[in-house]
Each structure stands twice: as structure tokens, then as C-alpha cells.
A and B are shown apart, each in its own frame.
Chain A
Amino acid sequence: MIKVKINGQEQSWDGDPDLPLLWFLRDEAGLTGTKYGCGQALCGACTVIVDKEAVRACITSVNDVAGREVTTIEGLHPNGDHPVQKAWRQVNVPQCGFCQAGQIMQAAALLMDNPKPSHDQIREAMSGNICRCGCYQRIENAIHLASTGV
């Protein structure tokens, strides 16, 4: 039996310990905010925060996060008012929106690590997250906004 804390709640799993965290979150725990985009750590759609770090849930097994704390988009802020989320809305970042949970989690992790990232630092830190609709310019603007106070 694997125990893991997700958005502050204790969850347990007694199935395949190698099950990717992504599918545990989506299909077993019903937290569908975290998305599948590639399954190979290539797109960032599945980004969650484990302890204080952004990780790709598609290549992280449930076993890997045993005893650790996982934050998904649903748990980032109780009312959805994390500075990154607010900035995202102010800048009207999303088009289809499918990549955005991953982008927001990545951006939140970036700001935890570096509260005032530069243009180049943002572009580097966010380049693991694909947006097929092409919202990059707005993502960068929203991160600048979040970092200067929304």
C-alpha cells in the first residue's frame, strides 16, 4: 500500500506501484486537471509540483512519490487565486486551454525558485511546456505580471 499526500489529502494505492502518477491522478483519484499530452516528458501538460519542484507526472510513478506531497492545479490555491492564476486571467493567456494547467504549475514552481525571472530565464524554464495553440507571448507576459504583483 502506497501512501501519498495530494493537495493536502492522504491517498493510498495498492495497485501497480509503477503506474504513472498522471494516470493515478486522472483515472483513480479523479483529479483531471492534470493533462496527458505525450506520456514521455516532452510536453509538460502533466506538470505537478512534488514538494517544491515541478515534475512530469507521466514519467513519475506512484511509487516515486510515496510519502511525498503532490500539488496539482486543483490544489494550487483554494479559490484559484494564486498570483500566477490571476495573472493568467488578466493577460487572457489561454486559447484552447489544454496545456494551461501544466504551464501554470511550471510557472508557479519557477516563481518559487526565482521570484523575478528575466526574459531569458522565463523562456528557458518554460520551454519544456508545449502550447500547440501558441500562447507563449502571453505566458511570458503573465509570468512577468505575476512576478511583479497582480
Chain B
Amino acid sequence: MNFIDNPRKLRGFEKHIRVEKVSRRSILKGLGVTGGFVLAAPVMSRQALAYETGAGKMPHGVVVDPRVFVSVASDGIVTIVGHRSEMGTGVRTSLPLIVAEEMEADWSRVKVQQAHGDEVKFGNQDTDGSRSTRHYLIPMRQIGASARTMLEQAAAKRWGVPATEVKAVNHEVVHSASGRKLGFGELAADAAKESVPSIESLKLKDPKDFRYLGKGAIGLVDLHDITTGKARYGADVRLPGMKYAVIARPPVTGGKLVKFEPEEALKVPGVEKVMQVQGWPWPSKFQPLGGVAVIARNTGAAIKGRDALKLVWDDGPNGKYDSVAYRKELEEASRKPGLVLRKEGDADAALKGADKVIVGEYYIPHLAHVSMEPPVAVANVKGDKAEIWAPVQSPGGTREDVAKTLGIPEGNVTVNVTLLGGGFGRKSKCDFALEAALLSKELGAPVKVQWTREDDIHNGFLHTVSVERIEAGLDKSGKVIAWRHRSVAPSIASTFAAGTVHQAPFEIGMGLVDMPFEIANISCENPEAAAHTRIGWFRSVSNIPRAFAVQSIVGEIAQATGRDQKDMLLELIGSPRIVKPNVKDLWNYGEPQDSYPIDTARLRKVVELVAEKGEWGRKVPKGHGLGIAVHRSFVSYIATIVEVAVDDKGKLTVPRVDTAIDCGAYVNPERIASQIEGAAIMGLSLAKYGEITFKDGKVQQKNFDDFQVVRMDDSPVVTNVYIVPPGPDTPPSGVGEPGVPPFAPALINAIFAATGKRIRSLPIGKQLEA
């Protein structure tokens, strides 16, 4: 795979595919300046941690330093830094809440301060991959415990008693023997002089004493501001003298501007300037596509000005991209052998000798993120200094890329992270911030670049398009003895390296080669597919097509052998065991296998739990049906039951969804529920409507009228969420993404139960209108 051998550092890309040690020296050097106390995660001993995570292997690793994350003012207000991006998961509340819990701070006296992009100082900030709680539960507890210990030491010194006799409780330190108490504020100055305790010496709280963690009683820190319009998103940043820009970008990926006529645009009231924007050749990574910017006194004028531009483009090498023809290519490729990625037994022979072979060929088209807030950024570049305000999932990467693009030192770039009006992976790519930086530099003024919804749909980093073909061979008794899965889809790696035709380890590791069924003969293959547009991470990534295919064929096998879907599923999962696929360097969401194995006992458990709570097998009215699916992703286990109703005109509604999740140790069950409720709606959106198509290289959809998402009148009436209580040492795992993948196959299996129709191609669209 070409990019693996490529030593170029492709940040934001490498982090997903490569396990590269960040030089600890560089971290220490960076922090030497501030005198902080730093420990990269790999240093944490097994004694200090009940488990290890992949956190230390992310760019810049983990920083465990109370002086970086916590400050206590003399009035007692505790400020805790949130260093991950808030896009709706609640992370800006939950990570600081962990610190507050461990340091015995009273949450009503805690303020959360958003970190700017600085990974040397704060550690890795890439808010993606459903990693925040997974990677930071223990580090945040350690930070809180350090701060608590320093406050306790300061109080003990003040009273002249051993530190073992004092204890921090709810924002004060008490010496129970004498009944003396000192508030955190009164101790702040002294505590700051205490040395930071070593991680090994820290005593973490006994979970039974938790006041906040696991309780779900704390609302979002931004809740009041969100309901009053005060919450500040990227789009809401206003600077004195700021200009408003919209950009006309090449309609075809890899296209170039030939010429433009600005005259009509300049006549629009409020338009001040029309200028060219630098673009990068395809594959352009996260760099801007280029085009023509219209600068105006407000966004409305800029949009009207852009409409009046006369533009001539050269469409370049992707000018023929056509979704109908491309689908045929993918289907044909899926019917021929491909690069074998996992081989156990002899699937070819077993399929030949099988009593019955069930074949399913499943298609999922490109999808657009359409986060509610389209990409937007504000930049103010002055000389060799740049300041950015943007809703980015990767503040550190944005800082690096802005510095590189402007040719200035990284230390001269400040990236202020606003709230994100949704992200879903789109805002892991900072192209919009780079556009703003380039324009501000040229204008010599602060500028906001606003993407319209049409821009978002036309020039995004789309979810891939895929054909997943599965052949399952059954013996006479109906037992599955052979499994061949071919996955054909252009890779995200194509956005970084020309000529990419195979999927990256992080893509094949999402439900292809990590398939957990107990089958003797397995072949997982990846035939070639070249990309013709920008492909990017979309919430749940390759797990969407994989879960759709794998869990649909389980329904098809059950259907062919006359068995119950749930029983069939449990039979295929097989005995409780740790699955060790025969795959070289199996990618496991960046996590060590020891802490996060593929555990079929946990997979079975969520199936059984959802079946029980979701009343699997209950009687449903005529025209209704139940479907089930389970999938492990982002090292979490999730099973979903969907009840569907299809009327005689083919109109589909979803009266009820039940989901069981095992995400290990967790912080806020209330936010887990909200993520799962939202995942059901996103799953229904993509299953029912989601499709981006191309003709002559151009995206054919433009806005929410032709790229539809589920609205309230067709959303599931109720989604029930059941969380598996964690064992004492179960490490935390992902929550933001895992809810999406099982939804579509559970829905499709339910549709079959309701109507006898088997849908293998998404979106459902008009397929049920007979």
C-alpha cells in the first residue's frame, strides 16, 4: 500500500494509519519552557493504569499536568481546560467533569476554558475516532488527582499536620481530627507552589465515591447559552473591520480555473472585491481547491456577488466521473478475486463444496456530512502572525497546516476553537481555515469565509462509495462453513496519495477483516478501486457499508434457512472467545489488543440484552416488522432492534428503536443516550435518503431538497437505549460513532420481516413503492 512506505508526514492521515512514536524529547523540550510536568502515555505503568490505550501513540501523545489543565483562583473558582472540540458529543463538559470529580471540585464553581490549538502543551487534540473518553478518562482523573493532592499538601503544611490526615471534600480541604477546613480558593496560592506529584504516587478515587461520573445528572456547560443564542460557533465570530467572503470553487475535483469575469459581481451592492484563491493540485489533502472569492460587507452580498460571476473551469482528469458507470465498475470488480487480506481455511474449496451458497451484493453510495453549520472560518493574518477562529475537530493539525500554507513558524499561529455546529468528520479537514488564512493575508484584513450549503455538498470530502459482496456457503444442516467478503471502495488514502487503489488498514479494519463470526473457511478480499472525488472520514467511516452487508446477509441466511434472525446471529457469533483474525498487523482502532480484544462474549451480551429489553419476537401489527443487527466498532459493541411499519403505498415509518451498547467504563450515560438517539436518526437518514451522485464529474445534489435527511415527521418515535454496566476494569470505548452502523441493516432486516422485500442497495428511496 503506497502510503505506508511513504515516509512523508501526512498529519491527520498518518494518525489513523500509522502507529508512530512521537519523540518524547520534543515534548519535553517544548514543555521545558513552561516548566510543566509531562508524561506521555506509554510511560504510564500498568500499576498506574488498569489498562493501556493507544493515546500515547497519537501525534503529541498525552499531557498529564495539572498546571496546564487546572487553575484555582483565590475566590475559589476552578477553571478547567477542555482541549477537545465540542461538536455535540458533550466532550467539553465530560472531560472537565472527570477532572472536577477527581479533584473534589464542586461543579457549580467550575468554569470550562476551551484550549487553543497547541498539542505540545495539551497533548493530542484530534477530536475524531470516538476517542475522547477512551483516551482521556484516566489522564483526566490523574490530572484531577494531582490537583487534589497539591491542595491537600498545601492545607496540611498550613496546619502542620501530616498530609495523610487531611482530605479534599467538595471544594474544601478538611482536617477531621480538628474540624478545621480551608476552601480551595484560600489554598490556591500555596497549592501552586507544591510540586506536582508523580503519577505512580497518585491515589485515584474509589468509583463508589463518585458524585458525577456515571450519573448523567450534569447538563452541558453550554446548555444555557445554546438555548439563548449566546453560544459562539465558528460562524458567529465577528472582528472589527472583518470582511465576508464566499468562494466559487472548481465544480469537479481536480479542476482548475481558466478565467473569470468579475464585472457583474462588483456591481452588486455591498461587494467590495473579487479575487482569485490559490488551489492545490489533486490529490490536494486538506489544502484549498482554489477558485474565486467575492469579498463583501456581509455574507448576503458576497453570495449575490458570487452568483453574478462569470467563470470558466477546466474540469481536469475527473471530468467524466459518473456514478451509474462507476457502480458497474465496482460491481464487476467485486465479482473477481482481489487482494486477500484475511485467509483462514480454504473458502474457495468450501464454497465449491457447499450445499447452498447465499450471495449478497450490497451498495452504499457517497454521502455528505451536511453538519448543520457548514464549514466556516475567520482569519486575521498580520505580517508573519496569524490568528484563526474556527470550528475545527483538529486544532493542532489546523495550526500546523496554517503555518505551512502561509510559510510562517507554527508558534506564530493561534487557533481559537469555537463550538462546532456538528462535525461528523467533515471538520477534521481544515481546508476552510486555510482559505480564510490565504484571503486574510492577501487582503490585509480579518476575513470570514462562509461555505454555503451548496458548497458543502459540492466540494466536500465525501463518504466513500462501496460494493460489499458476501458469499456464504452452508452445509446440509444449514451451518455456515464458508465466508468470502469482497469490499470494493475508493480509499480515504486517495485524498493524500495519487494512484491509491486499495483501502488502508484503518478502513479494512472496520468490519471487513475483523469480522467476528465463528466460521472455518474465511477469505476477506479487497479488489482495486480508484477515486474520482475527495473521500474523507464520515461518522463511523467504513463500518457503515460493512455492518450493512454483514448484518444483512445474516438476515438473508436466516431467511433462507427458516430461522429466527437473532438465533442465527448468535449461532454465527459462536462461542464466547477472543477472536484473533489471521491478519498481519490487524488495525484495532489504534488500540492495543490486550486492552481491547475482539470479545464475542461482549458481542453476544449486547444482542441478548437488546433482545430482552427490546422484546425481540413481540407481536407487531400487520405491515410492521422487527429487524436486528450487531456490530463492533471503535472498540465498542452495539446491537439494535428496529421496528418498521410499511403501509400499502410503501411509506416507511419507524415506531420504535431499541439499542444496547457496551462502551466499557463511561462518564455520562445521559449523553450516551443522546448520541445513540442521534445515531438512529443519522442511520435512518442514510438508509432512506442518503445519496450523492456524480455526472460529468459534478455532484448532482445541492441542498436539503435533493440531499434529504430525516425530519421530525419521519424520525423514529422512540429510541430506547440500554447501557451494559462496565466491569471494574473494563476500559472505556467509543460512543460517538458506533451507534450508526447497525441501524441500516436492522432496518433492512425489519423491512424484510414486514414486507418480504430484501433491499441490497441504499438508499431505499422508492424501492418500497411497488
Contact = CB atoms under 8 A, between A and B. Distances in A.
Contacts of B233: 35, 98
Interface string A6-43: 00000000011001101110111011111111111011
A148 interface: no
A85 interface: yes
A27 B88 contact: no
A94 interface: yes
B229 A96 contact: no
B373 A35 contact: yes
B704 A40 contact: yes
A37 B372 contact: yes
Interface of B is mostly: loop
B532 to A, nearest CB: 26
B223 A45 contact: no
B300 A97 contact: no
A37 to B, nearest CB: 6
A39 B712 contact: no
A126 interface: yes
Given A38-B453, A134-B680, A134-B682, A96 B87 contact: yes
Given A15-B270, A85-B228, A96 B674 contact: no
A98 B373 contact: yes
A97 to B, nearest CB: 4
Contacts of A43: 372, 453, 704
Residue among B238, B268, B677, B705 with most chain A CB within 10 A: B677
A131 B714 CA distance: 12
Size category of the binding interface on chain B: 35 or more
A134 to B, nearest CB: 3
Query: What band does the interface of chain A fall in when counting residues whose beta carbon is under 8 Å from B?
Result: 35 or more
A99 B677 contact: no
Contacts of B719: 137
Nearest to A33: B229
B703 interface: yes
A80 to B, nearest CB: 4
B754 interface: no
B235 A32 contact: yes
Given A32-B229, A94-B226, A138-B674, A27 B704 contact: no
Contacts of A101: 229
B228 A74 contact: yes
A74 B705 CA distance: 29
Contact of B703 (A26, A31, A42): A42
Contacts of A138: 674, 677
B4 interface: no
- Which one of B227, B235, B370, B713 has the highest number of Cβ atoms from chain A below 10 Å of its Cβ? B227
7 contacts: A15-B297, A16-B301, A19-B301, A26-B298, A27-B244, A89-B227, A124-B713
Given A94-B88, A131-B712, 13 more contacts: A22-B300, A27-B297, A32-B235, A35-B373, A37-B453, A92-B220, A95-B89, A95-B90, A98-B371, A98-B373, A127-B712, A134-B680, A137-B718
Interface of A: 15-16, 19-20, 22-24, 26-28, 30-40, 42-43, 45, 72-74, 76, 80, 85, 88-89, 92, 94-101, 104, 122-124, 126-140
